[in-house]
Amino acid sequence: MRSLALLGFLLAAPAWAQTSAAPLFAATLHDADDRPFAFEQLRGQPLIVNFWARWCGPCRKEIPELSAAHGKYAGKGLVVIGVALDDKVEAVRDFAKAYEMRYTGLLAKEGGIALMQALGNAKAVVPFTLVIDRKGNVVGSKLGAMNQAEIEAAARQLLGNP
Protein backbone atom coordinates (compact mmCIF):
# COMPACT_ATOMS: atom_id res chain seq x y z
CA MET A 1 0.00 0.00 0.00
CA ARG A 2 2.81 2.41 0.91
CA SER A 3 4.57 1.81 -2.41
CA LEU A 4 1.35 2.48 -4.35
CA ALA A 5 0.90 5.81 -2.60
CA LEU A 6 4.54 6.67 -3.25
CA LEU A 7 4.21 5.72 -6.91
CA GLY A 8 1.11 7.86 -7.22
CA PHE A 9 2.92 10.81 -5.68
CA LEU A 10 5.93 10.45 -7.95
CA LEU A 11 4.05 9.80 -11.16
CA ALA A 12 1.26 12.31 -10.67
CA ALA A 13 2.10 14.97 -13.22
CA PRO A 14 2.31 18.38 -11.54
CA ALA A 15 0.81 21.36 -13.32
CA TRP A 16 4.23 22.38 -14.67
CA ALA A 17 5.07 18.96 -16.12
CA GLN A 18 5.05 18.38 -19.85
CA THR A 19 3.44 15.30 -21.32
CA SER A 20 6.19 14.86 -23.91
CA ALA A 21 9.94 14.78 -23.70
CA ALA A 22 10.21 16.24 -27.22
CA PRO A 23 12.63 19.04 -26.21
CA LEU A 24 14.95 16.46 -24.70
CA PHE A 25 14.84 14.19 -27.76
CA ALA A 26 15.58 17.23 -29.95
CA ALA A 27 18.65 18.15 -27.87
CA THR A 28 22.25 17.47 -28.68
CA LEU A 29 24.25 17.07 -25.50
CA HIS A 30 27.88 16.01 -25.04
CA ASP A 31 29.32 12.75 -23.78
CA ALA A 32 32.20 12.30 -21.33
CA ASP A 33 34.67 12.67 -24.20
CA ASP A 34 33.02 15.93 -25.29
CA ARG A 35 31.57 14.37 -28.43
CA PRO A 36 28.08 15.47 -29.51
CA PHE A 37 25.39 13.06 -28.34
CA ALA A 38 21.99 13.20 -30.04
CA PHE A 39 19.46 12.34 -27.35
CA GLU A 40 17.14 11.10 -30.11
CA GLN A 41 19.11 7.84 -30.18
CA LEU A 42 17.52 6.93 -26.82
CA ARG A 43 13.96 7.20 -28.11
CA GLY A 44 11.93 4.04 -27.55
CA GLN A 45 13.69 3.11 -24.32
CA PRO A 46 12.36 3.57 -20.77
CA LEU A 47 14.41 6.39 -19.25
CA ILE A 48 15.15 7.98 -15.92
CA VAL A 49 16.84 11.28 -16.76
CA ASN A 50 18.39 13.19 -13.90
CA PHE A 51 19.65 16.77 -14.29
CA TRP A 52 22.35 17.57 -11.74
CA ALA A 53 25.29 19.85 -10.94
CA ARG A 54 28.62 19.27 -9.19
CA TRP A 55 27.86 21.96 -6.59
CA CYS A 56 24.44 20.50 -5.70
CA GLY A 57 24.37 18.67 -2.34
CA PRO A 58 21.06 16.84 -2.90
CA CYS A 59 22.36 15.74 -6.31
CA ARG A 60 25.34 14.09 -4.65
CA LYS A 61 23.03 12.32 -2.23
CA GLU A 62 20.91 10.68 -4.94
CA ILE A 63 23.78 9.56 -7.20
CA PRO A 64 24.33 6.25 -5.32
CA GLU A 65 20.59 5.48 -5.58
CA LEU A 66 20.59 6.15 -9.33
CA SER A 67 23.72 4.00 -9.73
CA ALA A 68 22.02 1.18 -7.83
CA ALA A 69 18.95 1.41 -10.09
CA HIS A 70 21.18 1.33 -13.13
CA GLY A 71 22.91 -1.79 -11.84
CA LYS A 72 19.64 -3.50 -10.99
CA TYR A 73 17.56 -2.62 -14.06
CA ALA A 74 19.94 -1.98 -16.98
CA GLY A 75 19.75 -5.63 -18.01
CA LYS A 76 15.97 -5.30 -18.12
CA GLY A 77 16.07 -2.34 -20.52
CA LEU A 78 15.95 0.68 -18.21
CA VAL A 79 18.36 3.47 -19.12
CA VAL A 80 19.50 5.90 -16.42
CA ILE A 81 21.00 9.13 -17.73
CA GLY A 82 22.66 11.90 -15.74
CA VAL A 83 22.74 15.31 -17.42
CA ALA A 84 25.31 17.62 -15.85
CA LEU A 85 24.72 21.35 -15.99
CA ASP A 86 28.35 22.00 -16.70
CA ASP A 87 30.68 22.84 -19.56
CA LYS A 88 33.87 21.47 -17.96
CA VAL A 89 34.16 17.95 -19.36
CA GLU A 90 37.20 16.91 -17.34
CA ALA A 91 35.73 18.21 -14.06
CA VAL A 92 32.47 16.31 -14.67
CA ARG A 93 34.38 13.16 -15.62
CA ASP A 94 36.45 13.38 -12.40
CA PHE A 95 33.31 14.02 -10.34
CA ALA A 96 31.52 11.06 -11.91
CA LYS A 97 34.46 8.81 -11.12
CA ALA A 98 34.74 10.05 -7.53
CA TYR A 99 31.01 9.50 -6.93
CA GLU A 100 30.97 6.15 -8.75
CA MET A 101 28.36 7.17 -11.29
CA ARG A 102 27.95 3.93 -13.22
CA TYR A 103 25.21 5.18 -15.51
CA THR A 104 25.50 7.25 -18.69
CA GLY A 105 26.64 10.79 -18.06
CA LEU A 106 26.07 13.65 -20.46
CA LEU A 107 26.80 17.37 -20.32
CA ALA A 108 24.20 19.97 -21.21
CA LYS A 109 26.86 22.68 -21.34
CA GLU A 110 25.39 26.15 -21.88
CA GLY A 111 21.94 24.89 -22.95
CA GLY A 112 21.02 23.02 -19.77
CA ILE A 113 18.94 25.70 -18.10
CA ALA A 114 16.89 26.38 -21.23
CA LEU A 115 16.40 22.65 -21.74
CA MET A 116 15.10 22.13 -18.19
CA GLN A 117 12.76 25.09 -18.62
CA ALA A 118 11.45 23.63 -21.88
CA LEU A 119 10.78 20.40 -19.97
CA GLY A 120 8.64 22.19 -17.37
CA ASN A 121 11.23 23.16 -14.73
CA ALA A 122 10.66 26.92 -15.00
CA LYS A 123 13.20 27.88 -12.33
CA ALA A 124 15.80 25.36 -13.58
CA VAL A 125 16.19 23.82 -10.12
CA VAL A 126 18.43 20.76 -9.63
CA PRO A 127 18.17 17.96 -9.06
CA PHE A 128 15.39 17.50 -11.55
CA THR A 129 14.37 14.03 -12.72
CA LEU A 130 12.13 12.91 -15.55
CA VAL A 131 10.61 9.45 -15.88
CA ILE A 132 10.02 8.81 -19.59
CA ASP A 133 8.18 5.84 -21.05
CA ARG A 134 9.00 4.00 -24.29
CA LYS A 135 6.62 6.28 -26.20
CA GLY A 136 8.58 9.37 -25.19
CA ASN A 137 6.00 10.60 -22.70
CA VAL A 138 6.96 12.06 -19.37
CA VAL A 139 5.05 9.86 -16.92
CA GLY A 140 6.64 11.34 -13.82
CA SER A 141 8.93 14.11 -12.71
CA LYS A 142 10.42 15.42 -9.53
CA LEU A 143 12.14 18.57 -8.39
CA GLY A 144 14.57 17.66 -5.65
CA ALA A 145 16.40 14.47 -4.85
CA MET A 146 14.66 11.17 -5.38
CA ASN A 147 15.06 8.54 -2.71
CA GLN A 148 15.55 4.83 -3.29
CA ALA A 149 11.84 4.00 -2.97
CA GLU A 150 10.87 6.64 -5.55
CA ILE A 151 13.52 5.48 -8.01
CA GLU A 152 12.48 1.84 -7.54
CA ALA A 153 8.81 2.73 -8.07
CA ALA A 154 9.65 4.65 -11.24
CA ALA A 155 11.78 1.79 -12.59
CA ARG A 156 9.12 -0.80 -11.92
CA GLN A 157 6.44 1.38 -13.53
CA LEU A 158 8.54 1.92 -16.65
CA LEU A 159 9.29 -1.77 -16.96
CA GLY A 160 5.66 -2.80 -16.46
CA ASN A 161 6.24 -4.37 -13.06
CA PRO A 162 4.42 -2.15 -10.52
The whole-number average pLDDT for the span 111-119 is 94
pLDDT in tens, 2-33: 444 444 444 444 434 446 899 999 999 999 99
Query: For 157, how many CA atoms within 13 A lie in the half-sphere containing its CB?
Result: 24
Burial label for 145, CB within 10 Å (0-12, 13-18, 19+), is buried
**pLDDT surpassing 50 at residue 141:** yes
**Whole-number Å distance between alpha carbons of 162 and 159:** 8
pLDDT, averaged across the chain = 89
pTM exceeding the 0.85 threshold for the entire prediction: yes
Mean pLDDT of 121-131: 95
Q: Phi then psi for 91, rounded to 5 degrees?
A: -65, -40
CATH superfamily to which 2-158 belongs = Glutaredoxin (3.40.30.10)
Q: Does residue 162 have a pLDDT over 70?
A: no
Check whether 1 has a pLDDT greater than 60. no
pLDDT for the residue numbered 143: 95
Angle ∠(88,77,10) on CA atoms, nearest 5: 75
Residue ranges of the domains in the chain? Answer: 2-158
Residues 138-152: what's their mean pLDDT? 95
Q: Flag the least confident range among 10-14, 55-59, 93-97.
A: 10-14
Give the pLDDT score at 20.
80
